[in-house]
Amino acid sequence: MGDILGYVLIGFILMAAVAILYLPVYLVLRKKFCFLRQMSFLLLIGCCLIILLATVLISVFLGMTEGLDAMAVRHDINMIPLRWTAEEWAMGREEMLTQVAANVVMFIPFGFILPAALPVFRRFFRTMLCAACFSFLIEFAQYFIGRSSDIDDFLQNTIGGVIGYLIFLLFSKLFQTSRIWRKFTGRPL
């Protein structure tokens, strides 16, 4: 559980850095896009960076700073659904539940923010496919940097993206008349 809190803290720090770096872009685009609309774009960029940091970039950075081999000889891959989850369950239920929750929760913001920021992803299948492709690219990269690549992670990430999309739909229904929500999603007032 401490790992998850560490990633959340790193995520907030990263989001603050992205916001500071985004400030000049905001100043240039403020006439074309309102602040809330730009915030949806910024959140999407930050969300993607946090996911990449937690899954791929942290290993690459550790490899560069601590002398670890980024192209490690050991490459593990699991293509059998639920095999890893069953093995983790046998070793300890708490560890398995933490891993599953982390994989699902990590992609919920992505599934929520993607259709808010980009109208082309306001259809279920498109958001699910994008979450699945993003997860696949992460698992693919993890294989080559010496981490394990797991179908369970792919499935859990995709489920998280779908849950995020369903939350987006719920917000769209609940706040369809809200000016703030309409500005955030770029819908006409």
Q: Tell me: the pLDDT tens digits for 33-75?
A: 899 999 999 899 889 988 998 888 776 656 555 555 545 556 7
Report d(CA 49, CA 57) in Å as an integer: 9
What pLDDT does 90 receive? Answer: 73
What pLDDT does 36 receive? Answer: 93
Most confident of 74-78, 80-84, 161-165: 161-165
Report d(CA 83, CA 110) in Å as an integer: 26
Determine the straight-line distance between the first and last CA of the chain, rounded to whole angstroms: 42
What pLDDT does 145 receive? Answer: 83
- Is-above-0.95 flag for pTM? no
Report d(CA 171, CA 150) in Å as an integer: 32
Residue 94: pLDDT band (50, 70, 90) is confident
**Mean pLDDT estimate for the chain:** 86
| The token pair that represents 122 in the structure block | 């306001």
What pLDDT does 96 receive? Answer: 78
What pLDDT does 119 receive? Answer: 97
Q: What is each CA distance from 135 to 1, 31, 139, in whole angstroms?
A: 22, 35, 6
Report d(CA 116, CA 182) in Å as an integer: 10
Report d(CA 161, CA 151) in Å as an integer: 15
Kindly give the residue spans of alpha helices, DSSP state H, lying in 121-178. Answer: 124-144, 151-174
Residue 180: pLDDT band (50, 70, 90) is very high
DSSP class of residue 134? H
Give residue 67's region: left, alpha or beta (phi > 0; psi -120 to 50).
left
Tell whether the model's pLDDT for residue 104 goes beyond 80. Answer: yes
DSSP string, 69-115: -TT-S---EE-STTHHHHHHHHH-HHHHHHHHHHHHHHHHHHHHHHH
Report d(CA 78, CA 155) in Å as an integer: 12
